[in-house]
Amino acid sequence: MHNSRTVPNSSSGRSSLVQKLIIAGILLIELIFAVFAFSSSQVIVENTNLPSKNASVDFNTGAINISSEAMSEIYAMPKVYTLPFNSDPGPVADANNYLTTKDTELLSQKVTTFNKDAWDGSDIIMYEDETIKAYLWKERIDIETKETYNFADITIAHPSQIRRYYAGGEYQMNTRYYPQTMAQTTNAVVAITGDFYNYRTYGVVVNNGVVYRDEPRTKMPYVLFIDYSGDLNIEYCHDNYDVEGYVAENDINFSVCFGPTLVKDGHILTPKEAYNYEGEGWIYGWAPRAAIGQLGELHYLICTVDGKNPGYHGTRSYILAQVMNDKGCYIAYNLDGGHTATLVVGGEVFNRVAFGGQRASSDLLYFATAIPNE
Amino acid sequence: MRKTTNSSGSAIKILLALLLLVVTIILCSSRSSLTPATCVRMPAPEETVSEFFDALTDGRYEDCDALLSNYTSLGLTSSTDTVIGSQLFEMLGDSYHYDILDSSNVSHITPAAEVVSSADASAVIVYSSVTIDDINKALESTSVTGKDASVAVAFTYLDISSMSDDLHTLVTDIAYNYAYESIDINNEETANQVVLESLQQLNESIEDYYRTDIFIINMKYDNGEWKIILDEALYKAIIGNIA
């Protein structure tokens, strides 16, 4: 009932007002700081593992080419053609350089991986220019059961010609194209589906030297890394593996993450290993398969095995390992098989894709000519 | 008694508010993402550009790498695969010259086309392939905004691609002389020798093949320093437009 509580005198009222203004001012400053701190906390996540340029390589290549050009009338020094190490499509391959034939003698002269006795009688396709030689054929190979294997034996002149393509041109989780469309988009001489990286959210994804994904990889521990020399490397990437460190130290261009390893250091995947494998896909059983292996410097063998169609059963991964090893691959890796496995040459699908039609996928491995278009 | 309680309560409130303010400021300051301009003096982006081009000119390529924002490395080393490559690389390195363009020095820059007499040419910086318009446009593009900056640089380099035709002509002429003296030129060693001799002759008037381009160097402020965002145009210039 004291009015001093409800009706303050004027001087204490002013004092109280000043105090309130001070507090309000301080709180306002805090608010400004808080807003500022919040806005500045929108940190852009930057990739610390940045790519490198190849200035010396580019310069040396250019020096060879300018010499070759200058002395063209006195001495034939071969030019070096290269492509940039990026996600751009390759040049358009000259359609006149494709040859469709059934001349097995000719193919035998071109490659040692061809087994004439196992040839299934279908068309053999060849592409040759100064920078890439590709030969594709089919064999019926009888291990446990007779199945159709589609092979591509490819030699390139420069490591920039083995390339990776992601649907839409960049790493993204929601874009998928038919493999044939991707092969046509990239002007691939030969292309094969890779790991279908955006089917899942885990595993390792590296492209153009940049690590895009390095998620826990218990299910996909064996990762294929292709370096800037064009060599295949397979690493067992356990959960604590330093992928960024490996990529930086080993000049890695891109990765493919599926597995398992089929052939490495003289070891071939065994039936027991395939049976016990807990990784992605049905590794032990019969299924359409896809693989890539290396035969020598810038020399590769890729393979798909037809399955999931009437009369076509696919193969088991350990049988594929044996076949790739028999063909001379000292390293070979299992790619995503099943309905994904698609092999394209000159823009046309070469293998019998499972279930009679292509499945839209996220990525390709492909080989391009390096001869520039006029 | 009531009045005393009120005023001490207000004082406590003010103290608490001040304490909160101090804590907020400390927390803000500790954030690495806080705009550095509010905390420390931001160096001039031109300093980094100078460091980069000085390192490039001196052949300290690892120092160049450390100043890049979007690449780990230029991938540039002094070693070359061939003797011709070595010769070209040396000629390229000798050609590097740069000027950072800003309003303070632009008055001393005159494109060759606007040089009236040789006396003018000695008094000013002359760029053979640049116009005043180019320079003015470049200056309009320079800026420093928060963590981004753009710096205009006139960079002179040996345009190796422009030597190609003259080199071819010279090599053919020298090869004819060799043939006239019955020297077998149809082997790699002699062919290389002919190219080297041709390059040495071209080197006598090498400035004819120098090219100056203006580059707008985009930069990013990161961890207390400016770094260069290398683009393809500058990269190609660094390797002499060779292909």
**ipTM for this model:** 0.76
- Most B CBs within 10 A among A21, A36, A74, hence the mutation to make, goes to A74
Across the interface, whether the CB atoms of B21 and A16 are under 8 A apart is answered no
User: What is the pLDDT at residue B185?
Assistant: 81
Among A66-75, A207-216, B124-133, B205-214, whose mean pLDDT is lowest?
A: B124-133
Confidence of residue B79 (pLDDT cuts 50, 70, 90): confident
User: What is the pLDDT at residue A277?
Assistant: 86
Residue pointed to by tokens 């291990």: A143
User: What is the pLDDT at residue A168?
Assistant: 93
User: Tell me: the pLDDT tens digits for B134-178?
Assistant: 777 878 878 888 899 999 998 999 999 999 999 999 999 999 888
Nearest to B88 among A23, A55, A63 (CB): A63
Instruction: List the structure tokens of A27.
Output: 């709180």
Q: Cα B52 from chain centroid?
A: 6
Please answer whether residues A137 and A167 qualify as being in contact, where contact means their C-beta atoms are separated by less than 8 angstroms.
no
Burial class from Cβ neighbours inside 10 Å (0-12, 13-18, 19+) for residue B21 reads: middle
Across the interface, whether the CB atoms of B14 and A36 are under 8 A apart is answered no
Distance from CA of B121 to the nearest CA of A (A): 33
Rg (CA), chain B: 28
**φ, ψ for residue B101, nearest 5 deg:** -90, 125
User: What is the pLDDT at residue A1?
Assistant: 35
Q: Looking at the DSSP assignment, which residues form a beta bridge with residue A126?
A: A99, A135
User: What is the pLDDT at residue B108?
Assistant: 56
- Most B CBs within 10 A among A1, A26, A81, hence the mutation to make, goes to A26
Strands of the A331-335 sheet, one edge to the other: A98-101, A124-128, A132-143, A145-156, A299-305, A289-296, A331-335, A261-264, A267-268
Confidence of residue A31 (pLDDT cuts 50, 70, 90): low
Among A18-27, A71-80, A316-325, A347-356, whose mean pLDDT is lowest?
A: A18-27
Convert chain B into a string of H (helix), E (strand) and C (coil). Answer: CHHHHHHHHHHHHHHHHHHHHHHHHHHHHHCCCCCHHHCCCCCCHHHHHHHHHHHHHHCCHHHHHHCECCCCECCCCCCCCCHHHHHHHHHHHHHCEEEEECCCCHHHEEEHHHCCCHHHHHHCEEECCCCHHHHHHHHHHCEEECCEEEEEEEEEEECHHHHHHHHHHHHHHHHHHHHHCCCCCCCHHHHHHHHHHHHHHHHCCHHHHEEEEEEEEEEEEECCEEEEECCHHHHHHHCCCCC
Q: Does A355 touch chain B (CB under 8 A)?
A: no
pLDDT at A7 over 50: no
Q: What is the largest CA-CA distance in chain A?
A: 117
Among A94-98, A183-187, A310-314, whose mean pLDDT is lowest?
A: A310-314
Confidence of residue B28 (pLDDT cuts 50, 70, 90): low
**φ, ψ for residue A35, nearest 5 deg:** -60, -45
Confidence of residue A46 (pLDDT cuts 50, 70, 90): very low
d(CA B82, CA A68): 12
d(CA B37, CA B144): 11
Across the interface, whether the CB atoms of A37 and B25 are under 8 A apart is answered no
Higher pLDDT, A331 or A266: A331
Question: Which residue type is seen at B64?
Answer: C
Most confident among A69-78, A350-359, B182-191 (mean pLDDT): A350-359
Higher pLDDT, A267 or A7: A267
Confidence of residue B7 (pLDDT cuts 50, 70, 90): low
What is the pTM for the complete model shown? 0.67
Please answer whether residues A308 and A288 qualify as being in contact, where contact means their C-beta atoms are separated by less than 8 angstroms.
yes
Burial class from Cβ neighbours inside 10 Å (0-12, 13-18, 19+) for residue A116 reads: exposed
Q: Cα A264 from chain centroid?
A: 19
User: What is the pLDDT at residue A8?
Assistant: 44
User: Tell me: the pLDDT tens digits for B99-110?
Assistant: 888 776 665 565
Q: Does B85 touch chain A (CB under 8 A)?
A: yes
User: What is the pLDDT at residue A48?
Assistant: 47
Task: Give the start-end residues of each E strand in A124-193.
Answer: 124-128, 132-143, 145-156, 162-166, 190-193
Among A178-192, A324-338, B118-132, whose mean pLDDT is lowest?
A: B118-132
In the predicted model, what is the mean pLDDT of residues A209-213? 92
Higher pLDDT, B175 or A41: B175
Among B48-52, B121-125, B207-211, whose mean pLDDT is lowest?
A: B121-125
User: What is the pLDDT at residue A25?
Assistant: 73
pLDDT at B126 over 60: no
Across the interface, whether the CB atoms of A36 and B28 are under 8 A apart is answered yes
Distance from CA of B190 to the nearest CA of A (A): 9
A371 vs B contacts (CB less than 8 Å): none
Report the run of H or E that residue A256 belongs to, with start and end.
Answer: strand A252-257
